[in-house]
Amino acid sequence: MDPNENEQASVPVQAVRRGIMRMARRLRSERALGSLSSNKLSVLGTLSRLGPLPAGVVAEVERQRPQSLSRIFAELALEGFISRERSEADRREHILSITDAGRAALAADLAQRDAWLADALKKLSPTERGVLELAADIMERMAMDDAALEAIDEQARRSDSTA
């Protein structure tokens, strides 16, 4: 690859990275003081989207070590936002599930940021909103690495075999 091609390829990469980082920073700034931590919200969001999962799979999806999240899991359970049950397939493993209180906490946090985002989206054309909707799907896939997807598929297979 010639140096000009490499330089040209990095321009869209930099623009996408910069746009994602600025948007993430802006969305974080729309959260109320005293909101749940980003780690807690991320775990609740994962369990809300994907359903009950072993702690290790949640850690893989979150791209963290299970040991790093064990305190977060314990705090969320203590707050009543998740439940932890022993796996029927492997008694050493805990299956995490979001509770109704966890869904409510997640929804309240998301509502604050969604209100700002809805107002911002109203200022865009229908085409621009459509492009962002497509980009959101693409970024969601990009953020989920192959190992996390495989772990989710494996959990689904194990759940099917015990049902």
Output 106 or 154, whichever has higher pLDDT: 106
**pLDDT over 70 at 149, yes or no:** no
Query: How many residues in the chain?
Result: 163
Q: Note the pLDDT of residue 90.
A: 72
Q: Is the predicted pLDDT of residue 83 greater than 90, yes or no?
A: yes
Give Cα separations from 73 to 84, 95, 109 (angstroms).
Answer: 9, 11, 18
The pair of structure tokens assigned to 154 is 């494996």
Q: Which pLDDT score is estimated for 33?
A: 75
Mean pLDDT, range 107-116, rounded to an integer? 90
Higher pLDDT pick, 9 / 15: 15
d(CA 82, CA 70): 13
Residues 6+ apart with CB under 8 A from 76: 40, 43, 44, 82, 102
In the chain, % of residues over pLDDT 70: 82
Distance CA 127, CA 129 (A): 5
